[in-house]
């Protein structure tokens, strides 16, 4: 038995700054290639089809685009804010919390959407099982972080447009 405040804590999971820079460079290249090939390219590291999600920076107001794995649920895209199991949430997630209006690109089509975080426990569990099925490492991420990995629905709000 330990005294209060002296129990062992798991070290905080953070990414090395070099890793973060490499991810940013890889993301930039992936977004460019995705757009050139109209989304007909698997995620280079994860081997699955992904979407591009564009958010508005909560501080800068600039547009930021991230390739994300997803599952479809009805007409919605469902994504998870894992950031590789880091204890801090990914920037794209923090941006959409500040402004839930996003753009989703999927195989050469772009559509405006609104981001809605999944709060219902049963819906979260159902969607988590589907997300973990397409990318089992999500389970490892969930175990190594102290935060609840957010699941977000991206619900289209308008017409799709073909990207030229």
Q: Is the pLDDT of residue 6 over 50?
A: no
Q: Select from 113, 112, 106, 134 the least CA-distant residue to 37.
A: 106
Give 71-99 pLDDT, tens digit per residue.
Answer: 999 999 999 999 888 888 999 999 999 99
Greater confidence (59 vs 158) lies with 59
Domains assigned to the chain: 17-162 (2.30.110.10)
Q: Are 68 and 30 in contact (CB under 8 A)?
A: no
- Whether the model clears a pTM of 0.85, i.e. scores above it, the answer is no
Q: What is the pLDDT of residues 126-136, one digit of tens each?
A: 999 999 999 99
Residue keyed to tokens 């547009």: 63
Q: What average pLDDT score do residues 57-71 get?
A: 93
Residue 1: what pLDDT?
39
């Amino acid at each position: 038995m330990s005294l209060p405040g002296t129990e062992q804590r798991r070290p905080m999971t953070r990414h090395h700054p070099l890793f973060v820079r490499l991810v940013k460079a890889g993301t930039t290249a992936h977004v460019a290639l995705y757009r050139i090939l109209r989304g007909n390219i698997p995620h280079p590291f994860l081997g699955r089809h992904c979407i591009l999600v564009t958010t508005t920076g909560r501080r800068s107001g600039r547009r930021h685009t991230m390739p994300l794995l997803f599952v479809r649920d009805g007409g919605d895209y469902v994504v998870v804010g894992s950031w590789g199991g880091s204890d801090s949430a990914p920037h794209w997630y923090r941006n959409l919390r500040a402004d839930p209006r996003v753009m989703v690109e999927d195989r050469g089509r772009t559509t405006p959407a609104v981001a809605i975080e999944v709060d219902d426990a049963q819906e979260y569990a159902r969607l988590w099982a589907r997300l973990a099925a397409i990318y089992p490492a999500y389970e490892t991420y969930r175990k190594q972080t102290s935060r609840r990995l957010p699941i977000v629905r991206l619900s289209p709000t308008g017409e799709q447009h073909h990207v030229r």
